[in-house]
């Protein structure tokens, strides 16, 4: 049985005010990844991802659209 996912934001446009994003992360040299559960706008997620990348150089962070 297959499921369907719905995007919480428009996948083609990424405006700073669009809601429905979270921060995804992965290690650069390990096979481990995840995401934070806090929902925020794209602009907030982009800013926080840059802050986290500066604090933790061994990880990569990016704004990720939430799919339900």
DSSP characters over 1-68: ------BSS-SS---TT-EEEEEEEEESSSS-EEE----EEHHHHHHHHHHHHHH-TTEEEEEEE-B-
Q: What is the largest CA-CA distance in the chain?
A: 42
Tell me whether residue 57 is in a domain. yes
What pTM, to 2 d.p., does this model score?
0.85
* Count of Cβ atoms closer than 10 Å to residue 8 Cβ: 15
Tell me whether residue 30 is in a domain. yes
Tell me whether residue 15 is in a domain. no
The domain total for the chain is 1
Tell me whether residue 40 is in a domain. yes
Q: Which domain holds residue 52?
A: 20-65
Token pair recorded at residue 16: 């700073």
> What is the chain's pLDDT, residue by residue, as a tens digit (68 residues)?
567 878 888 888 889 999 999 999 999 999 999 999 999 999 999 999 999 999 999 999 999 999 88
């Amino acid at each position: 049985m297959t499921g369907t996912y719905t995007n919480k934001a428009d996948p083609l446009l990424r405006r700073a005010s669009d809601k429905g994003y979270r921060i995804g992360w992965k290690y650069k040299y390990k096979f481990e990844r995840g995401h934070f559960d806090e929902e925020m706008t794209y602009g907030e997620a982009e800013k926080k991802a840059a802050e986290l990348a500066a604090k933790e150089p061994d990880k990569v962070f990016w704004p990720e659209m939430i799919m339900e």
